[in-house]
Chain A
C-alpha cells in the first residue's frame, strides 16, 4: 500500500491560515487522498478527499500537487476547536474494500 508522510506536529495562531502538508510519493493513479482529523477524546472525523483536482468544502480546502505526490490541507482560519491530530490517508479507488490505513498524523496546536 502507498504510504503517507506527515510532520509529527505543527503550531498555528488562532484566526490564521494553516497549511498541513502530506507527502505520498508512491501514490498510484487510482488512489484517492483522504483527510481525517481526531479531536481530543473523540473518534476520527472526515474532513475532505480528492483525486486530482483541488477541492473545497465548508471545513477546509485540499490542494493536490500536479504530480499528485504531495497534498496540502488548508484551514483558512484556525480556531481553538481545530486543535486535533490530522491524518492524510490514501484509499485505493479500485479496491473492493475500504481499508483506510492511518499513519501517525500531524498534531496541530492552535495558540490563542
Chain B
C-alpha cells in the first residue's frame, strides 16, 4: 500500500459506455497526476492538478475528462472510448509541484482498462 489508492483495479467497458476511474491519496499531497501506460510504450503524462487546479494537459482527447474536487481525490471520466485506449491508467501524487529536488511522485497500483 503506497498511500495512493486507485479503483477499480480492472475495468472492461464498451465503446459507448461511460465510466470513471477514481484515485485517492492520504499523504497530504497537493499535486495529483494521471498517467497512461500502454503495452510496449513509455508512461505518458495525461493531466496534472495542483491544489485542485489543472496545470497541465498533454493534448489528451476530450473523451478523457479529469476532475479534482479536492486535493485528496482525482477522477478520470471516460466516455466513448476506443479500443486503442485500453491501457493501465496510473494515478500519482506529490507534495507540491515545483518543489526542488525532493519532490517525489507516489504512484497507485493502477486501473487496468479494456475497451471492447
Binding site for B on A (CB under 8 A): 32, 34, 36, 41-46, 49, 51, 91, 93-105
Contact = CB atoms under 8 A, between A and B. Distances in A.
B109 interface: yes
Interface string B51-64: 00001100000000
Given A43-B2, A49-B104, A96 B90 contact: no
A4 to B, nearest CB: 11
B36 to A, nearest CB: 11
A102 B110 contact: no
B105 A98 contact: yes
Nearest to B105: A100
A95 B98 contact: yes
Q: Which 6 A-B pairs have CB atoms at the shortest separation, nearest pair first? A: A43-B107, A102-B43, A96-B98, A98-B97, A46-B104, A43-B90
B17 interface: no
A95 B55 CA distance: 13
A93 B100 contact: yes
A52 B43 CA distance: 26
B66 interface: no
B76 interface: no
B90 A103 contact: no
A98 B48 CA distance: 9
Interface residues of B, number: 29
B15 interface: no
12 contacts: A42-B110, A43-B4, A43-B90, A44-B90, A49-B104, A91-B103, A96-B98, A98-B31, A98-B94, A100-B105, A101-B45, A102-B43
Contacts of A45: 2, 106-107
A32 B48 contact: no
A109 B43 CA distance: 20
Contacts of A105: 42
B42 A103 contact: yes
Nearest to A43: B107
A93 B105 contact: no
A99 to B, nearest CB: 6
Given A42-B109, A98-B94, A98-B99, 7 more contacts: A45-B107, A94-B100, A97-B55, A98-B33, A98-B48, A98-B97, A99-B45
